[in-house]
C-alpha cells in the first residue's frame, strides 16, 4: 500500500515535467519575414535543448492572436504598432514595450524586448511613375484622385491601414483593390495599380525599383519586431523563454532585409537563412518532392475523409427527417444553407476558440460545409419517389422503418450519392484553405508558392488537388453504380 501511494505521489510530482515534455509550438504569419523569424525562434530554442515546432503561415494577425490566446500556439512574432493599433484597446499609439508588457499581462501573454528592427508600413510607387507625377510624399497622392491603389487585404481593414491613411491625408481615390501582399508587387510592376502598401524591410522594394513615399504627416507608428508568448511558459518552459529573449536586439534592419531577399529573391529556404544568421548548421530538411507529396496527400485525404464521414452520418438522417416532417425540413435545410454562405476562411477562424488549430478544427469546418448537399439531396431523393409506389408499399402492410430501408432509400440512392459526391469534390478544393490554420494538405505548398512567387510550388499543391477531385468523383460514380439496384440501373439506361 505504501509503495502504491509512493508511486502515485511520484507521478504527481513529475506532472510539471511531463507537461513540459510536450513540444513548444511557434506560429508565423503568411509572409516571408514572419516565417524567417519563426525559424530563428525554433532553431535558437533547439540549440537550447527545447523541443520547438514551427507551424508556418497560419494566416493573418487575427488567426495568430486568437491561436495564442486560446493556447493553440505558444509564441509568434508580432509588431508593436499592430498591438497598439489593432489588438489592444485603450493603449497610447506611442506606447513603449514596458507599457505593452503591463497591458498584456492580464491576458496571460508576455512580450520580449525588440528584436532590433522596426518594420513599418509605407506606401510605394514605381520610381519612374512617381517621378513623372512629381510624387514623393503620401500627401501628394491627394492631387491625383485617378490613381489606382492595390493594398493587401489586411491593410484594407486595419485601423492603422487604409481607413486611417485615407482620413489623415484626405485621399479621395475610389479605385482601391484588396490584393495578396506578395501579388501586389507584381501588380504595381505590371502597371495594373499605381500604389501599394509596403513593409519597410521588404526585399522587393529595391528589386522592383519602388519609391517609398514619405509619411509627412507621421501617420504610421513604429512597428518594432517582438515575440509574443504565453506567460505560463516562464514557469513551464523557462529555457524556451530564455532562447526567445536572446534574439532581442540582434537583428537590425539591413540584416532583416537581407534575409528576406535571400528567401524571396535568392530562393533559399527560410531554415537555411535562419541557421546562417545564427551561425549554426541547418537542422532537418523537407525530405524531397515525393516525401512532401505523400505527406500532403495523407493530410488532405484525412481532412476530406473525416469531414465527409461525419457529414454522411448526420446529413442522411437530417435529410430523412426533412422529408418526413415538412416544417422541420424547412428549418434544417435553411440552417444548413446559411452555414454554406459563411466565407470559408471565416469558418476556419471561428473554429480556433473551440478546437484550436490543426486537423480537427479544419475537419469540423469542412463538415459543416458538407451538410447542405447531402441533406438536400437526401430530402429531394425521398420526396421525389412516386406517390403510388409509397402507397403500394403501405398497402402491403410494411412498417414505416421497413418501407424506408427496403423501398425508399434504395430508390433515393442515386440522389443521395450525388449529394455525397458533390460534398466530397467541394471539400477537396475547400480543404486547401485549411493550411491557414495549420492543418497542412495541398494548401501548404500553394500558400508558400504564392508567398514566394514560385509557380512550381503552387502547381505542387494545385495539380494533386485537381487529380484528387477527379479520383473522388470517379470513385463515387463507381459506388453509385454498385449500390443502385439493378432494376433502377436498367430503367435509367432506357
For 311-334, the pLDDT digits (tens) are: 999 999 999 888 888 888 888 888
Q: How many CB atoms lie within 10 A of CB 321?
A: 16
**Strands 149-152 and 195-199, bridge-based pairing:** parallel
Q: What is the 8-class DSSP label of residue 118?
A: B
Q: Which three cell numbers stand for residue 21?
A: 515534455
End-to-end CA distance of the chain: 79
| Cα 462 to Cα 40: distance, rounded to the nearest angstrom | 29
Residue bearing cell 500556439:
73
Q: At what angle do helices 32-47 and 270-278 cross, to 10 degrees?
A: 50
In this structure, what is the dihedral angle of CA atoms 32, 29, 19, 17, given to the nearest 10 degrees? Answer: 40
Residue 350 has a pLDDT of: 86
Tens digit of pLDDT per residue, the chain (494 long)?
Answer: 445 444 444 444 444 444 445 799 999 998 899 999 999 999 999 999 999 999 998 888 888 999 999 999 999 999 999 999 889 988 888 889 999 999 999 999 999 999 999 988 899 999 999 999 999 999 999 999 999 999 988 888 887 889 999 999 999 988 999 988 878 888 999 899 999 999 888 888 888 899 999 999 999 888 999 999 999 999 999 999 999 999 999 999 989 999 999 998 888 999 999 999 998 887 655 667 888 889 999 999 999 999 999 999 999 999 988 888 888 888 888 888 888 888 887 888 888 888 888 889 999 999 998 999 999 999 888 888 776 666 565 555 556 566 676 677 788 888 898 999 999 999 999 999 888 888 889 999 998 888 887 888 899 999 999 999 999 888 888 877 776 656 555 555 55
Residue bearing cell 512574432:
77
What are the φ and ψ backbone dihedral angles of 392, each rounded to 5 degrees? Answer: -65, -40
| Cα 238 to Cα 27: distance, rounded to the nearest angstrom | 18
Global pTM?
Answer: 0.79
For 188-229, the pLDDT digits (tens) are: 998 999 999 998 888 888 888 999 999 999 998 889 999 999
Distances (CA, A) of 174 to 144, 150, 192, 362, 366: 11, 11, 15, 36, 36
The answer to whether the CB of 240 falls within 8 A of the CB of 50 is: yes
Q: Which three cell numbers stand for residue 419?
A: 449529394
The answer to whether the CB of 67 falls within 8 A of the CB of 226 is: no
> How long is the chain?
494
DSSP run (H or E) holding 493? helix 486-493
What are the φ and ψ backbone dihedral angles of 133, each rounded to 5 degrees? Answer: -95, 5
Amino acid at each position: 500500500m505504501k509503495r502504491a501511494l509512493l508511486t502515485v505521489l511520484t507521478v504527481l510530482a513529475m506532472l510539471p515535467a511531463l507537461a513540459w515534455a510536450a513540444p513548444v509550438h511557434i506560429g508565423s504569419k503568411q509572409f516571408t519575414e514572419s516565417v524567417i523569424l519563426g525559424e530563428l525562434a525554433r532553431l535558437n530554442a533547439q540549440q537550447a535543448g527545447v523541443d520547438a515546432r514551427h507551424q508556418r503561415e497560419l494566416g493573418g494577425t487575427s488567426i495568430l492572436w486568437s491561436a495564442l490566446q486560446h493556447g493553440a500556439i505558444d509564441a509568434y512574432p508580432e509588431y508593436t504598432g499592430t498591438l497598439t493599433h489593432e489588438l489592444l484597446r485603450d493603449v497610447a499609439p506611442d506606447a513603449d514595450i514596458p507599457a505593452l508588457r503591463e497591458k498584456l499581462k492580464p491576458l496571460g501573454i508576455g512580450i520580449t524586448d525588440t528584436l532590433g528592427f522596426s518594420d513599418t508600413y509605407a506606401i510605394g510607387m514605381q520610381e519612374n511613375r512617381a517621378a513623372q507625377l512629381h510624387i514623393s510624399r503620401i500627401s501628394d497622392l491627394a492631387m491625383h484622385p485617378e490613381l489606382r491603389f492595390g493594398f493587401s487585404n489586411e491593410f484594407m481593414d486595419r485601423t492603422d491601414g487604409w481607413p486611417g491613411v485615407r482620413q489623415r491625408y484626405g485621399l479621395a481615390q475610389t479605385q482601391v483593390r484588396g490584393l495578396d501582399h506578395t501579388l501586389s508587387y507584381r501588380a504595381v510592376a505590371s502597371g495594373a495599380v499605381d500604389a501599394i502598401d509596403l513593409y519597410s524591410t521588404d526585399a522587393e522594394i529595391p528589386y522592383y525599383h519602388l519609391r517609398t513615399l514619405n509619411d509627412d504627416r507621421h501617420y504610421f507608428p513604429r512597428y518594432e519586431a517582438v515575440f509574443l508568448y504565453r506567460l505560463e511558459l516562464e514557469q513551464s518552459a523557462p529555457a524556451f523563454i530564455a532562447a526567445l529573449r536572446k534574439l532581442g536586439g540582434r537583428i537590425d534592419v539591413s540584416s532583416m532585409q537581407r534575409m528576406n531577399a535571400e528567401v524571396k529573391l535568392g530562393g533559399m529556404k527560410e531554415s537555411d537563412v535562419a541557421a546562417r544568421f545564427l551561425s549554426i548548421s541547418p537542422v532537418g530538411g523537407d525530405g524531397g518532392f515525393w516525401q512532401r507529396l505523400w505527406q500532403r496527400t495523407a493530410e488532405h485525404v484525412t481532412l476530406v475523409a473525416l469531414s465527409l464521414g461525419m457529414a454522411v452520418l448526420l446529413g442522411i438522417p437530417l435529410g430523412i427527417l426533412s422529408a418526413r416532417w415538412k416544417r422541420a425540413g424547412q428549418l434544417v435545410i435553411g440552417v444548413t444553407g446559411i452555414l454554406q454562405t459563411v466565407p470559408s476562411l471565416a469558418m476556419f477562424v471561428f473554429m480556433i476558440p473551440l478546437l484550436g488549430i490543426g486537423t480537427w478544427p479544419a475537419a469540423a469546418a469542412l463538415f459543416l460545409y458538407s451538410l447542405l448537399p447531402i441533406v438536400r439531396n437526401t430530402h429531394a431523393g425521398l420526396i421525389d419517389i412516386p406517390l403510388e409506389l409509397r402507397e403500394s408499399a403501405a398497402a402491403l402492410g410494411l412498417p414505416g422503418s421497413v418501407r424506408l430501408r427496403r423501398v425508399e432509400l434504395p430508390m433515393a440512392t442515386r440522389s443521395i450519392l450525388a449529394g455525397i459526391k458533390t460534398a466530397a469534390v467541394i471539400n477537396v478544393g475547400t480543404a486547401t484553405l485549411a493550411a491557414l490554420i495549420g492543418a497542412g494538405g495541398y494548401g501548404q505548398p500553394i500558400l508558400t508558392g504564392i508567398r514566394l512567387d514560385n509557380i512550381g510550388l503552387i502547381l505542387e499543391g494545385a495539380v494533386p488537388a485537381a487529380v484528387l477531385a477527379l479520383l473522388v468523383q470517379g470513385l463515387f460514380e463507381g459506388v453509385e453504380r454498385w449500390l443502385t439496384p439493378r432494376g433502377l440501373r436498367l430503367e435509367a439506361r432506357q
